[in-house]
Chains A and B, each alone.
Chain A
Amino acid sequence: MSASLPPETAGAGGPQAHGKHIPGGGATLAREGVALGLLLAFALIPLAASFGAESYVLSLATRVMIFAIAAVSLDLILGYGALVSFGHAAFLGIGAYAVGILGAHGFQDTAAQLPAAIVASSLFALVTGALSLRTKGVHFIMITLAFGQMAFFLAVSLAAYGGDDGMTLQARSTLLGFGWIKGDRAFYYVVLALLAGTYALCRLVVRSRFGRVIRGARENAVRMEAIGFSLFRHQLAMYVLAGAICGMAGFLLANQTQFVSPAYMTWQRSGELIVMVVLGGIGSLHGAIIGAAALLFLEEWLSGFTEHWKMIFGPMLVLVALFARGGMLGAVQRFPRIAAALAGWPGWLLSRLPGRGRSRRAGAP
């Protein structure tokens, strides 16, 4: 019952939800296998795409990978640090605006734009993180939301850079004058390489001593403080790293759409990022990639059938939350039990109707 947990863990899951993610030999191998398989699948998409509708498939898959990078960065703080940021889209927007604003002043080179995107989002993360980390749990969610909203309204007020309408980029960024990501396919592989790099970096970070401190804080903050770690500094460093990576994703998003707009940093977008991570399975990194892919592909696929696709998609999220503890990854691991639970749900539901006696505080069946 999370009400009884220390507030540090109240934000995201109790220890029981995470215990199995502490690295162990077999689990690690399986996990890297899944991640490698995912990246390999992405690497093969262009081959399949060349048989038809290439630029569309590439555009969609590129978008999926960009959001996967953003989701992985969120998972870093959300899954491993139990710090639920509800303003993560702000970094996406800051990275995108770095491209747009520099581009508007004639600096179209990656050598200027990418460092600017990363530095700007890191600085924003440093300042807002230092203020936000004073709070815990739900209050952390809300204060990050507040900073996200401030960034959003700031972007809306930038009349010189399109204000609410946003601005169109004339071309994708160059690299030392060379149009390195001009072609859709080249851009695709660059994004794929960055996704792989992001995944590897984050994996190294969470495995390092630094990452173990963060994870330890998630399980028992008081104890970590007691053995002499400054949690604040560790968590802030993690927050800045996540912000920087998401800023890079913003750089890519601006280049993919060749458009920059405050719509990239609405609170709904921050919510979508959280949903991606939770849908895939928190605290695993590759779960975030799976979540991003599932959300965006499903959106594209379902909306092809009906204008009312959200009436199908919404209940799907509810079912995942009800039956698949630990997101889609959890669902795969616990498939037999879930199948049984799903089959028994209607009858079980009837038996729980008021007046027929129900146990205290129902959990899942």
Chain B
Amino acid sequence: MRMTKKSVLPALLPALALAFSSGFAAAQEKVKVGIMVTLSGPSAVLGQQARDGFQLAVKQLGGKLGGADAEVVVVDDELKPDVAVTKVRGLIDRDQVNFVVGPIFSNVLQAIHKPVIDSNAFLISPNAGTSNFAGAQCSPNFFVTSYQNDQNHEVLGKYAQDKGFKRVFLMTPNYQAGRDSMAGFKRHFKGEVVAELYTPLGQLDFSAELAQIAAAKPDALFTFMPGGMGVNLVRQYRQAGLAATPFLSAFTVDESTLPAQQDAALGFFGGANWAPNMDNPQSKAFVAAYEAAYNAVPGTYAMQAYDAALMIDAAIKSAGGKVGDRNAVRAGLRKADFKSLRGDFKIGVNGYPIQDFYLVQAARRADGKFQTEIREKIFDDYVDVYAKDCKPTN
């Protein structure tokens, strides 16, 4: 893939130059981006990372996207779907944004998808990637810079299978994403599932469940406990003396929770499309710049939003700076001709990425901060399983 890109690049250069100059010629051309993420409540830290990641990219691009002056409006969806619907109408209608970047959570995505798709703006999700919009309900105006929701769980399932774990204990919160994550794990794991345990959403004390895990003595635990639930689970898991049983998780041990989990999470596994120790120059520069600007280690939330900004930038450039030319911008988004922080990155037929996935592990850096680190590549150029149901004419 890289080879072809390289050989095409010289041929593209004049076109790029043209794009630049035309961007300059239409100096009045402005691009407005509305960021809608969750900035209140216990999950606010995820939204902050996404917002900061996007704004860092815009700052580094000199306040421009694709040569056009960028104006970024940030709104908080409060993690309430009905609030989000009204606020996204505000972005589209009052602020007349060209792109809506958001949201973090799947239920908000379900709510705002239709209003944005029906409008003149593109919807670019820097995190949530539900199965319905990847398959039969896919839309040419919806793009995802993160993953399809199942994929990170599939990473752990594949790893457990390859590693030869015989008996795995599954535990997730009792809601849609939790049930999806179990389905994702089981897609590649063929061994015995000792138990499928559902906990109430927002549960903070896992002593009852940990006792059951200890009694079942599985080869490994697979879990999906985002946010504060994950912080509590990880610490209680270690306190209960279970750390010898491998802890496989998705969205449970990451840069948003590690500052609170700290030593308790060391050695625990996760599945991801990127980690701060990713070995490429653009990623290293990004991590350094993010830490300097926001005094925190960036997680995938920040990375995916940063990539979303680069993708918009590339799309407007390829449309010759004409933000209003929707067909050209759409083609540009689909081409995704930018240097992703995760290296290999393509947009599939359904608007979802085709990328590599890794097993990551929580570790302490030399400076005492915590981050996840890539241990091995599990999937290469992985296409989500729903893409085949997406008919491009849709």
- What residues of chain A have their CB less than 8 Å away from a CB belonging to chain B? 52-57, 59-60, 63, 153, 156-157, 159, 162-168, 253, 256-259, 261, 263-264, 300, 303, 307, 310
Contacts and interface: CB of A to CB of B under 8 A. Distances in A.
Contacts, number: 98
Interface residues of B: mostly helix, strand, loop or mixed? helix
B375 interface: no
Given A55-B89, A59-B89, A263 B82 contact: yes
Given A55-B93, A303-B76, A163 B175 contact: yes
B89 A56 contact: yes
B201 A164 contact: yes
Contacts of B372: none
Chain B contact-residue range equals 20 to 34
Interface stretch (B1-9, B24-32, B109-117, B352-360): B109-117
A257 B111 contact: yes
A156 B110 contact: no
Nearest to B173: A164
A256 B111 CA distance: 11
B114 A59 contact: no
Given A259-B111, A307-B39, A307-B76, A59 B86 contact: yes
A261 B107 contact: yes
A263 B81 contact: yes
A156 B173 CA distance: 11
B50 to A, nearest CB: 13
Interface in B89-108: 89-90, 92-94, 106-107
Contact of A167 (B76, B90, B92, B110): B110
B80 A263 contact: yes
A19 to B, nearest CB: 38
A22 to B, nearest CB: 37
Given A261-B81, A264-B82, A168 B111 contact: yes
Interface in B39-74: 39-40, 74
Contacts of A159: 176, 179
Interface of B: 39-40, 74-76, 79-82, 85-87, 89-90, 92-94, 106-107, 110-111, 113-115, 130, 174-177, 179, 200-201
Given A163-B175, A256-B82, 16 more contacts: A55-B93, A57-B94, A59-B89, A59-B93, A159-B176, A162-B110, A165-B177, A166-B111, A257-B82, A257-B85, A258-B85, A259-B81, A261-B110, A263-B107, A303-B76, A307-B76
B93 A257 contact: no
Nearest to B85: A257
A162 B176 contact: yes
Contacts of B81: 166, 257, 259, 261, 263
> 9 shortest A-B CB distances, which residue pairs?
A164-B175, A56-B93, A53-B94, A165-B176, A163-B176, A259-B111, A257-B85, A59-B89, A165-B107
Most chain-B Cβ atoms within 10 A of its Cβ — which of A53, A162, A258, A259? A259
A52 B95 CA distance: 10
A296 to B, nearest CB: 9
A164 B82 contact: no
B175 A156 contact: yes
Contact of B110 (A56, A166, A303): A166
A257 B87 CA distance: 11
A56 B94 contact: yes
A60 B110 contact: no
A63 B145 CA distance: 31
Contacts of B39: 307
27 contacts: A53-B93, A54-B93, A55-B92, A57-B94, A59-B85, A59-B93, A156-B201, A163-B175, A163-B176, A164-B174, A164-B175, A164-B176, A165-B177, A166-B81, A167-B110, A253-B82, A257-B86, A259-B81, A259-B110, A259-B114, A261-B111, A263-B80, A264-B82, A303-B75, A307-B74, A307-B76, A310-B40
Nearest to B178: A164
Nearest to B106: A165
B130 A165 contact: yes
A212 to B, nearest CB: 36
A300 B90 CA distance: 10
Contacts of A258: 85, 114-115
